[in-house]
Chains A and B, each alone.
Chain A
Amino acid sequence: MYMFGLNVKKIIFMVIAAILLIFLAIWATAQGVVSLSLRDVFNIILSKIFPFVKFEIPRLPQIIVWNLRLPRVLLAIIAGAGLALAGTVMQAIMRNPLVSPFTIGTSSAAGFGASVAIVLGVGIAGTGKYLIIGNAFFFAMLSVLLVYGIARIRGVSAETLILAGIVVMYFFSALTSLLQYLATKEQLKGVVHWLFGNLALARWENLSIIFMMFLLSFLLTMKYAWDFNALAAGDEVAISLGVNIRQVRLISLVLATLITATIVCFTGIIGFVCLVAPHITRMLVGNDHRFLLPGSCLVGAILLLVADTIGRTIIQPVEIPIGIITSFIGVPMFLYLLLTKKKKYWQ
């Protein structure tokens, strides 16, 4: 078929990216203070998934792989994929290449929620060790209500959503700054540490929650792939192609916020990947959201996995926050593609 020929490159790209991701995951699991061979890692994972497969492996590496490193590697993959998905969706519905959960206040609201829990020790949702997580999630979801509510005053459009988002972002940033100003030295350290973002909270039980949320938002936003393509041609064209733009905007905005909130409340603020992964993918597979959405997830996952692995191993046992490394890897990658690709992919 002709169409298949047109898209075959995109499919090949995704297959390669998926294979690379699996390889990187095994490689990343082998890295750390206790260095393991790739074969050991592979065997341990295999024997855990299929209990009937038996290898002669000492207990310690098994615990390191299964209880410590693998959850963290998987968290990096799902978080990277989820944040990239959120960024791609938000850029599509707001028709702006600079939009991400960062620019429209989701992350800063989560940061405020976490700060309240750390500094004031109180929270709206969650208790005990879940106080920070619950609070961050609650405020992140509150931010989308605020953004949509403010945008509705003048009619929901790409422009009003962006402006409302920026207002909400600055509002929560200011509140967080105020809390930081009032905090004790210890509390301040906790807040800053949270705001840098890290994947140390990787546990199997958290992972399953995040994975379910990711799967839900991915499948539902994939359903809208054609509608996102239509929105890129303008609201009026989208309407005349039969797209219910109001419904698409509202539902995708909520889904993008939901996946962001779910990830960020466990990891702290990890920026950039949600902005840059969609653009890297656009330059490689183009703007058709049927390919762009899954492609972005793969690129985001690879980016965050590599960043986290470098961050925790480069001067071990000290960890460099993942947000910093993500930018150090993403910026040159993005610049390279920007300067070498000729085609114009966005206005």
Chain B
Amino acid sequence: MMKIQLKNIQFSYDHGSNALEDVSLEVKKRELVSIVGPNGSGKSTLLKCINRILKPRRGSILVNGKEVWKFQLKELARILGYVPQVSNHFLSSCVFDTVLLGRRPYINWRLNKRDEDVVLNLLKLMNLEGLMLRQFNELSGGEQQKVIIARALAQEPQILLIDEPTSNLDLKHQIEILTLILSAIKEKGLSAIMAIHDLSLAARFSDRIVLLKEGRIYTEGEPNKVLTKKNLKEVYGVEVDINYDSGIPHIIPLFSVEAS
């Protein structure tokens, strides 16, 4: 069953050319689809359109077969969990309270036992128990990333939208975070769309990869098919070498050329 279907999405910011043009995409249950592409190719914009942060000019976005703009906001928030790029919060709160915020779509005002249980289980699952009372803004980048993933999972979503989860992390945290995300997807039967810069990591963790160029889908498919020397040269303007030793394409950038 298709969890998300995008049909011919077109979006443009107030001024200027189209940030997204004729983007169509389908994501199934238990599937992790990565969106890759150069800066400004529309990765984050696409996630924000799905999440109703931005409204496309044209096209339709169906979640479980229903147009996203026809959902109640709270109803949608119980289906879509959003993991934004890490940034400090204006008002810091402790880790427990930050994750608890993910229960917002379920609570009117008072919390119940279940809200508490969900949060505690997630903190345990993600090894955040020891940090429970620390202020969010005082955590390291990797810890902050874990906390906002936990917040999105506290929404008990069916679909995760993840924006650049590894951009500020060291090697160990990159792997830890992506493994966490992947196991959540496979165990809980979620679907996920993830914008990511690192091509080798995308290849290692994704079921499918969508390559964006200037707001359009250049190509999509299995990592092996999408991440080829030719495609990367055309889209990024970089000559690369690709190492298949581990069975997963590993991209080694060589030098910059003019993108076509």
Interface residues of A (CB under 8 A from B): 1-3, 6, 92, 95-96, 223, 225-227, 229-230, 232-237, 239-244, 282, 286-288, 343-347
Contacts and interface: CB of A to CB of B under 8 A. Distances in A.
A96 B91 CA distance: 9
Given A3-B111, A230-B101, A345-B91, A239 B51 contact: yes
B102 A241 contact: yes
Interface in B86-133: 87-94, 96-98, 101-102, 104-105, 107, 109, 111, 113, 116, 120, 133
B107 A226 contact: yes
Nearest to A3: B116
A225 B90 CA distance: 15
A283 to B, nearest CB: 12
B137 interface: yes
Interface stretch (B72-80, B215-223, B238-246, B247-255): B72-80
A346 B73 CA distance: 28
A229 B94 contact: no
Given A240-B51, A343-B92, 5 more contacts: A3-B111, A6-B94, A6-B133, A229-B93, A234-B89
Contacts, number: 105
Contacts of A1: 113, 116
22 contacts: A1-B116, A2-B116, A2-B120, A229-B104, A230-B101, A236-B51, A236-B84, A237-B82, A237-B84, A239-B51, A240-B52, A240-B77, A240-B82, A240-B84, A242-B76, A243-B73, A287-B93, A288-B97, A344-B135, A344-B137, A345-B135, A346-B92
Contacts of A243: 73, 104
A301 to B, nearest CB: 22
B42 interface: no
A285 to B, nearest CB: 11
Contacts of A234: 84, 87, 89-90
Nearest to A224: B109
Given A3-B116, A223-B109, A347-B137, A241 B101 contact: yes
Contact of A95 (B90, B92, B107, B120): B90
User: Is the interface on chain B under 10, 10 to 19, 20 to 34, or 35 or more residues?
Assistant: 35 or more
B202 to A, nearest CB: 23
B90 A344 contact: no
A6 B116 CA distance: 11
Contact of B96 (A6, A95, A346): A6
A232 B93 CA distance: 9
B56 interface: no
B226 to A, nearest CB: 28
A232 B116 contact: no
B63 to A, nearest CB: 13
A230 B89 contact: no
A344 B137 CA distance: 7
Nearest to B155: A241
A8 to B, nearest CB: 13
A344 B138 contact: yes
A229 B51 contact: no
A236 B80 CA distance: 13
A242 B73 contact: yes
Contacts of A239: 51-53, 73
Given A239-B51, A242-B73, A232 B91 contact: yes
B77 A241 contact: yes
Contact of B91 (A2, A237, A287): A287
Interface in B18-35: none
B92 A345 contact: yes
A347 B51 CA distance: 26
A2 B120 CA distance: 9
B93 to A, nearest CB: 5
B138 A343 contact: yes
B81 interface: yes
